[in-house]
């Protein structure tokens, strides 16, 4: 079995600081990457920024700085945010990196020489002040969507990629294989793009200066997708001297992308790869959107001083809270709303009640009834065995879910495991047993309860990166870095001293917090 795993986020537009929406893709990918690492796989997790294009040129001009100065600032802010959120990426690619620029030029030339890129004329509606081409559909009231001024029909020389040639192959790929998930996105692609017929794609511009020059015809710059999509292979060294990573990690296991860019990843990208005669990625996963007031949050709106700044949220409530909300409450593959109430409620219900309380309650009882010392169980009852079996069955299901790239399903199961453990306490009521002096039985219950907590906690490590790590110290256990540890009952030794750790998650007063958050926003 292949022991490597390659996962990517899209490369983000640095048109402004990253939003909680961009954190969504990055955090989801991070949890999948971490999970696979703990399974013992050799993981490569790629993220980065998509830095060319007219918009960047325009922003830099408005700010009166060079494009590179502007980009460097956003990129360092992005990297700082990913560090703050514990994103364990292996490489951060910038499309302005030399190796990427050179690889794109080589790819462009290769496709041109092969006849899959050809020169023709691009016809569009042009806004002279904005120096931008628009399609009929992009216009707002027949005018330029950026400045509102009239547009006029115009033509320019441009290179085209022969996408139409790959129509049948792409249709087969989408309908006969498991290339794109979830299924709803496949239907969308077939109805909106495959059925109407794929058209050749304009892949160069003479009007955009901030781009990768076509080296054999330098008045052209490479336009958008032939620049952006190949980041997934240029980052690994494709067509470069050192292509060890490419040999090891390509084809990609999964490109995780938001639903609005599924078309580029499931139609244009495989066509480019087919033209390059390269193997295709195994899976494109099109996730939904985190919705704010019913819509996708734009970078400009998010940066206008709103309280959903991920930096503020993580300072106030911790990284675990953000990661939990995005992974658990927004069903992977579907859209889901963000509100302060939903966020804070998720914290209280899951982190504080279900999980944090379970840990502190268990340690508390070990202190109170067993003098803080835990031993191996003496005799297991049928209900103990059933409980242990249930935990182990759910543990297996978590692996199955992650194999299907379903982090929401996996984390829900993990919280069901905690909830089952809470129920086990109530079913066995150690406080009643204590009245009858049944210390032996209490030890058995608290032993398997402790082990159930640790087994479950280990599954949680890829998802929540901060507090779950602290739990092991209470039982004098090592923090595991793979799932081979704590993978079945029986690891707690005789005479284990169990000590109280710090309170994992303080319960929040939701009304007070909402008031505070609103104050920060104003």
Q: Which residues here bind ligand MSP, judged by CB under 6 A? A: 10-13, 19, 21-22, 24-25, 50, 228-229, 231, 257-258, 260-261, 289-290, 296-297
Nearer to ligand MSP, 257 or 271 (CB): 257
Answer yes or no: are the C-beta atoms of 440 and 378 closer than 8 Å: yes
Instruction: Tell the smallest beta-carbon distance from residue 278 to ligand MSP (Å).
Output: 16
Q: What is the SS3 assignment for 355?
A: helix
Instruction: Tell the smallest beta-carbon distance from residue 345 to ligand MSP (Å).
Output: 20
Beta-bridge mates of residue 7: 45, 254
Sheet with 4-12, edge to edge strand ranges: 91-94, 42-49, 4-12, 254-258, 284-287, 180-181
Distance in angstroms (rounded) separating the CA atoms of residues 282 and 388: 36
Nearer to ligand MSP, 257 or 322 (CB): 257
User: Which has the closest alpha carbon to 309: 19, 43, 105, 42?
Assistant: 19
Nearer to ligand MSP, 9 or 465 (CB): 9
Instruction: Tell the smallest beta-carbon distance from residue 105 to ligand MSP (Å).
Output: 17
Burial class (CB in 10 A: 0-12, 13-18, 19+), 293: exposed
Angstrom CA distances, 510 to 192, 344, 464, 506, 515, stand at 44, 6, 22, 12, 9
Instruction: Tell the smallest beta-carbon distance from residue 510 to ligand MSP (Å).
Output: 23
Nearer to ligand MSP, 258 or 468 (CB): 258
Instruction: Verify cis geometry, omega within 30 degrees of 0, for the bond prior to 356.
Output: no
Q: In angstroms, how far apart are the furthest CA atoms of the chain?
A: 91
Nearer to ligand MSP, 262 or 417 (CB): 262
φ, ψ for residue 42, nearest 5 deg: -90, 105
Angstrom CA distances, 201 to 37, 251, 264, stand at 38, 24, 11
Nearer to ligand MSP, 12 or 472 (CB): 12
Nearer to ligand MSP, 41 or 205 (CB): 205
Q: Give me the residue whose beta carbon is nearest to ligand MSP.
A: 258
Residue 232, number of CB atoms within 10 A of its CB: 25
Instruction: Tell the smallest beta-carbon distance from residue 257 to ligand MSP (Å).
Output: 5
Instruction: Tell the smallest beta-carbon distance from residue 263 to ligand MSP (Å).
Output: 11
Nearer to ligand MSP, 231 or 456 (CB): 231
Nearer to ligand MSP, 211 or 430 (CB): 211
Instruction: Tell the smallest beta-carbon distance from residue 297 to ligand MSP (Å).
Output: 5
Instruction: Tell the smallest beta-carbon distance from residue 141 to ligand MSP (Å).
Output: 25
Instruction: Tell the smallest beta-carbon distance from residue 147 to ligand MSP (Å).
Output: 21
- Letter string b/e over residues 54-88, b meaning 16 or more CB atoms within 10 A of that residue's CB: bebbbbbeeeeeebeebbeebbeebbebbeebbbe
- Kindly state the helix (H) or strand (E) to which residue 25 belongs, with its residue range: helix 20-38
């Amino acid at each position: 079995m292949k022991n490597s795993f390659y996962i990517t986020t899209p490369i983000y537009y640095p048109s402004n600081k990253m939003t909680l929406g961009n954190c969504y893709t990055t955090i989801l990918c991070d949890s999948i990457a971490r999970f696979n690492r703990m399974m013992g796989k050799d993981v490569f997790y790629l993220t980065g920024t998509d830095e060319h294009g007219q918009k960047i040129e325009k922003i830099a001009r408005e700010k009166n700085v060079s494009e590179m100065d502007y980009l460097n600032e956003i990129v360092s802010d992005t990297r700082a945010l990913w560090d703050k959120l514990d994103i364990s990426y292996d490489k951060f690619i910038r499309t302005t990196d030399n190796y990427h620029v050179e690889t794109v030029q080589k790819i462009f030339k290769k496709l041109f020489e092969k006849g899959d890129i050809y020169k023709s004329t691009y016809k569009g509606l042009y806004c002279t002040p904005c120096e931008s081409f628009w399609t009929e559909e992009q216009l707002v009231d027949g005018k330029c969507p950026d400045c509102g001024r009239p547009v006029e029909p115009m033509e320019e020389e441009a290179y085209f990629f022969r996408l139409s040639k790959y129509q049948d192959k792409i249709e087969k790929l989408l309908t006969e294989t498991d290339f794109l998930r979830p299924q709803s996105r496949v239907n969308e692609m077939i109805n909106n793009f495959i059925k109407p017929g794929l058209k050749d794609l304009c892949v160069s511009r003479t009007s955009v200066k901030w781009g990768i020059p076509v080296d054999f015809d330098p008045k052209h710059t490479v336009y958008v997708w032939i620049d952006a999509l190949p980041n997934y292979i240029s980052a690994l060294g494709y067509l470069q001297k050192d292509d060890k990573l490419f040999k090891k990690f390509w084809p990609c296991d999964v490109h995780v992308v938001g639903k609005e860019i599924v078309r580029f990843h499931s139609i244009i990208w495989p066509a480019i790869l087919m033209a390059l005669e390269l193997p295709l990625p195994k899976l494109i996963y099109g996730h939904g959107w985190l919705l704010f007031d019913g819509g996708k949050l734009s970078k400009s709106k998010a940066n206008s001083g709103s309280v959903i700044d991920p930096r503020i949220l993580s300072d106030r409530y911790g990284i675990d809270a953000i990661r939990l909300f995005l992974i658990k409450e927004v069903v992977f593959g579907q859209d889901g709303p963000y509100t302060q109430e939903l966020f804070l409620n998720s914290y209280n219900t899951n982190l504080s009640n279900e999980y944090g309380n379970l840990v502190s309650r268990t340690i508390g009882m070990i202190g109170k009834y067993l003098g803080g010392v835990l031993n191996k169980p003496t005799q297991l009852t049928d209900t103990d065995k059933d409980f242990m079996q249930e935990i182990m069955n759910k543990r297996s299901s978590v692996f199955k879910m992650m194999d299907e790239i379903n982090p929401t399903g996996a984390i829900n199961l993990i919280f069901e495991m905690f909830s089952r453990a809470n129920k086990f306490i109530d079913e066995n009521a150690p406080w009643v047993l204590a009245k009858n002096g049944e210390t032996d039985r209490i030890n058995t219950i608290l032993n398997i309860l402790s082990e159930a907590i640790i087994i479950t906690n280990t599954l949680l490590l890829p998802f929540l990166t901060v507090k779950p790590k602290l739990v092991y110290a209470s039982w004098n256990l090592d923090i595991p870095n793979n799932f081979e540890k704590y993978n079945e009952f029986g690891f707690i030794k005789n005479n284990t001293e169990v000590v109280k750790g710090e309170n994992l998650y303080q319960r929040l007063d939701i009304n007070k917090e909402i008031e505070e958050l609103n104050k920060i926003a104003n």
